[in-house]
Chain A
């Protein structure tokens, strides 16, 4: 038998580019990414609280950065990251008690989490931030 010859003629291992991306794979990776996103966002949160505690001048500096184009983009991302991780975290917790584990169910809840997190984030920004004038 010559197993060694077979190696050259068949795929050795699956490649990421070959896989169709199932919803469950996307939501899993995104949960980790948003966990790290929330971690980074916490620096912003700490700065905000500290600035509020240190006085008006410190707070105005924070507001200027938060209200700048880059600040607004970061805050928008942080909003979505928190909301997504919250929604998908609840999905994780239902798995932890043994519910919702069927493939079809996990795909449906995954798609739901993506859509609802985007919808809520847009709501906060369109109705909340834009509606109240400027994300100050």
Chain B
């Protein structure tokens, strides 16, 4: 028998008003990604085999660059959230789990920054 109150026992062990936050963000980004990925695949399809100059022109146009930036932002958040669940499901050891979760953030943010940089450079030149 413990003299701890039930509340005290569960403190720090779980949800504090953000229980569905991760789930919800995964859905919201998924909904955003449906039109964005569709648009991207169809546009890409029309540019298969284009020479360098045309690819650069296409990517730098506002009508490409702006949806592409949306795709990058939604995509990188979604993939970060998704991979987090996969790691939490399969990796038991705390030390490995923490390292992989940190690595996941690093990959998602890192690749996201690289992509945003590339799209901005293609848009503004130099």
Contacts and interface: CB of A to CB of B under 8 A. Distances in A.
Q: Do A and B come from one complex?
A: yes
A124 B49 contact: no
B111 interface: yes
Contacts of B76: 42
A86 B34 contact: yes
A50 interface: yes
State the majority secondary structure of interface residues on B. Answer: helix
B117 interface: yes
A96 B49 CA distance: 39
Interface stretch (B2-10, B11-19, B78-86, B93-101): B78-86
B55 A52 contact: yes
B122 to A, nearest CB: 5
A82 B79 CA distance: 12
A1 to B, nearest CB: 30
Interface in B47-73: 48-49, 52, 55-56, 59
Interface stretch (A4-12, A17-25, A87-95, A106-114): A87-95
B52 A49 contact: no
Given A93-B30, A93-B31, A53 B122 contact: yes
Given A93-B27, A124-B45, A59 B34 contact: no
Nearest to A36: B86
A50 B76 CA distance: 16
A45 B111 CA distance: 9
List 5 A-B pairs, minimum CB-CB distance, nearest first.
Answer: A49-B118, A53-B118, A53-B121, A132-B49, A50-B118
